[in-house]
Structure 1
Amino acid sequence: MGKRRKPSPPSRARLAVLTTAVAGGAVFAAGSAHAEPTPTLASVKEQVDKLNEEAEQSVERYNGFQAKQQTLQADANRIQDKVARGQEAMNELRTRLGAVAGEQYRTNGIDPGVQLMLDSDPAAYLERAAAQNQVVEGQTALLKQARDEQRRLDQDRAEAAATLAQLDSVGAALGEEKKQVQSRLAQAQALLNKLSAADRARINAQESAEKAKAAAQQAAAADRASRSADRPAADGPAAPTSGRAADIVKFAYAQLGKPYGWSRTGPDSFDCSGLTGAAYRAAGVKISRISQDQWNDGPRIARGDLQPGDLVFFYDDIHHVGIYIGDGKMIHAPRTGKNIEVLPIAAMPYMGAVRPA
């Protein structure tokens, strides 16, 4: 066996390269070992607020699809009932024609017109029978009635099919919008979960203070509603004491402290337009389901002419609405995770007001 050669030591240049590589690897390993920096409360709040606003936009779209779905379902039920009644009428006419055919068979044989009506599509009968001059005078009215009934039945069936197809489309859109709401709310919660324990405690304390404030406002609602209109309340003009506006405002005050619930119209939770709709129903007035439609439920009111009970709207796309209570304030259902509260209308991008009739 030959002698094993002792390896020569590395050169200075090679040592430098190896040292740099090892050092770089150590730095990389150290960097990868560090956890992501904890997000600041301000940055999380900004992102959560944005996600909640987007969720509220989706909620109003969801409400719109849901209202349309309910309307279409009612239409479909009505048309299907009409189809069922038409089919019953058609069956009765066919029975009568069958009796005519039976009588003719016992006498002189079945009239070709009656036989054709019983054996083929009534809609095609008239043209064929007219061309062949096969309708005898005694059966003309009955055959014409059957043809007209069949034509109405076909039209109703076509209308029912179109309505059901539209209902399926709206149902798919409703499901997709629900996913969007849930996704944004889940993202917002995931961001909150990244906060430090101290920041989460700070947020919880803030929410507890807001709930206590809302509970105090709710307790004072009866007292506020009973004050004289010419005696101002501690925070501004008193609410109206009688009439429709008083009923709207009184209802709104009674909901303070209840949780926001997306696509809810009460009685335990509300979204923004669900609250306004319920308040107006309490006063005997029906308004639309979603904020964008409520925007068209009455004449526009200038900001300087606002009165308690008016609807106040926010953001360019009118996706938020509240009930004006005077002194530049409103009662509204804010967003998921918060409760119905009193808030200055200047706190959000104000778009205008409406006073439904």
Structure 2
Amino acid sequence: MKRRHCAAAALTVVCALAVLSAPVQAWAAPAPIPSATPSPAPKSLPEVRAEIDLLYRKAEAATDAYNLAEKQVTKQTAELDDLGRAIDEGRQKIARLKNQAGAQAREQYRNGGLPPGTQLVLSSDPRLFLDGLNQLRQSQQATDSVLADLTRAQADLELYTEDAQVNWDKLEAGRVEQARAKKEINARIDEAEKLEARLEKEERTRLLELEKQAQAAAQSSWLSSGALKDINREASPSGKAAVKFALAQIGKPYVWGAEGPGSYDCSGLTSQAWAAAKRPIPRTSQEQWAQLTHIAVGDMRPGDLIIYHSDATHVGMYIGDGMVVHAPRPGRNVTLAGAGSMEILGVVRPDA
């Protein structure tokens, strides 16, 4: 027994020595926490200017979409009003025809409930027979006419009702597009204004100088290219009236969707100027580009409209001497600018 205790004790000591003599496991030190992503280098003023210009371009494109949707809503509303009146008149006509048919039925009842043909056969007087035959023909024609009118009136009413539903669906689609475009416009303008607001006063001044320099350089390059053959062509009488109206709006603020008299967007200014010249034109710059007669840039005269950018989202009115009057963008007023200071898509003539 004593020998077994000694053996156990010895085994315990050996195990303890083995543990103590085992190499200690090395634990790695925690990896250092990576530092935050370094802030991007601040943008240069030319980069900021390009970004702001792009945002306002997007807002202007959305403005064209808004103006077009507004035009469609106005059109569909007017058509719905017309259809509503037609439906009301159709219902009144059907009511009158039903009353007329009812009167004929009551007349037959008062005659003993016999059909007119039967009454005619029972007549013993030849003269009455002949008179009755004539009346029968007239009565039958009147009945047929009433029934035909009633059938047409009911068919017209059904058609008006179907058209009203189609126009209502279009109206709702237009309102949805208006809301979407309005949201897009406000988002882009808000983003551009916040970007400008982060600049120091001196930077904003310098930004404006850069914009003017870029426009002047583009205008100089355009004029020297010989793109415009004659900068002072004679305007048509309508063109003179349109130019006079547009120049009178200088200093009024740009407001998207506005058509005057206190503020304008770019196409609101040109469309109202030509309306004042008694030549109504489409409302948006994209419609003006699509629907008005295209003129070579070198042949343009005062009153013609210059459409800008590849998506036709800006328009100005040529006034001669290589200049346009236009409503530039939110935060700016109607002003004069070099006709070639922006990217020209083409020229249209409202009174071609």
- Tell whether the structures are fold-level matches, with TM greater than 0.5: yes
- The Cα of 1:57 is off from its aligned counterpart by 0.7
The aligned counterpart of 2:319 is 325
Say if 1:334 and 1:340, in contact at 8 Å, map to a contact too.
Answer: yes
User: Are 2:305 and 1:301 aligned?
Assistant: no
- Please tell me whether residue 312 in structure 1 is matched to residue 324 in structure 2: no
Matches within 5 A, 1:139-288: 139-200=143-204, 243-288=237-282
Return the letter of the residue paired with 2:45: L
Deviation at 1:241, TM superposition (A): 8.4
Segments of structure 2 that go 5 or more residues without pairing to the other structure are: 1-23, 116-138, 213-229
CA contact (8 A) 1:40 1:195 kept: no
Q: Distance in 2 between matches of 1:241 and 1:352?
A: 18
Structure 1 SS opposite 2:312: coil
- The residue that corresponds to 2:77 in the other structure is 73
Q: How does 1:13-28 map to 2 (within 5 A)?
A: 17=29, 24=32, 28=35
**C-alpha deviations, 1:119-172, integer Å up to 9, x for none?**
xxxxxxxxxxxxxxxx96652221121111111111111111111111111111
Which string of whole-angstrom CA distances, capped at 9 and with x for unpartnered residues, describes residues 66-120 of structure 1? 1111111111111111111111111111111222233333333497xxxxxxxxx
Say which SS state the counterpart of residue 87 (structure 1) adopts.
helix
Q: CA deviation at 1:17?
A: 3.3
| Paired letter, 1:352 | G
> Which residue of the partner structure matches residue 341 of structure 1?
335
Partner of 2:217: none
Give a deviation string over 1:185-225, Cα, whole Å, max 9, x none: 1221222233245434656x869x99xxxxxxxxxxxxxxx
Taking a change above 3 Å as real, the CA distance of residues 178 and 278 of structure 1, as seen in their structure-2 partners, is same
Within-5 A mapping of 1:25-64:
28=35, 40-64=44-68
Task: After superposition, give the CA deviation of every residue in 1:302-346 in whole Å (9 maximum; x if it has no partner).
Answer: 122121111111111211111011122211111111111211122
Paired with 2:302 and 2:142, the residues of 1 have a C-alpha distance of 72
1:101 matched residue in structure 2? 105
The letter for the 1-side match of 2:167 is: T
> Secondary structure at the residue paired with 2:256?
coil
Partner Cα distance (2:80, 2:42) in 1: 54
The letter for the 2-side match of 1:72 is Q
Shift of 1:273: 0.8
Q: Is the 8 A contact 1:260 1:335 kept in 2?
A: yes
2:131 is matched with none
Larger radius of gyration: 2
Please point out which of 347, 351, 354 is paired with 2:348. Answer: 354
User: Letter of the aligned partner of 2:47 in structure 1?
Assistant: S
Distance 2:274 2:158 in 1: 42
CA contact (8 A) 2:254 2:329 kept: yes
Alignment CA distance shift 1:319-1:138 (3 Å): closer
Partner amino acid, structure 2, of 1:17: A
Aligned equivalents of 1:291 and 1:241: distance in 2? 21
Report what 2:90 is aligned to: 86
Shift of 1:301: 1.6
Gaps of 5+ in 1: 1-10, 112-134, 211-235
CA contact (8 A) 1:101 1:110 kept: no
- Contact 2:235 2:302 (C-alpha < 8 Å) held by counterparts: no
In 2, the alpha carbon distance for the partners of 1:42 and 1:283 equals 40
Using the size of structure 1 for normalisation, the TM-score is 0.71
Q: Distance in 1 between matches of 2:46 and 2:283?
A: 34
Find the counterpart in structure 2 of residue 223 from structure 1: none
Tell me, yes or no, if the aligned pair for 1:38 and 1:196 is still in contact at 8 Å.
Answer: no
Aligned amino acid, residue 308 of structure 1: P
User: C-alpha distance in 2, partners of 1:296/1:39?
Assistant: 38
Question: Using a 3 Å threshold, how does the CA distance of structure 1 residues 309 and 237 change in structure 2: closer, same or farther?
Answer: same
Whether the 8 Å CA contact 2:235–2:303 is kept in 1: the answer is: no
CA distance in 2, matches of 1:37, 1:295: 41
Higher relative contact order (CA 8 A, sep 6+): 2
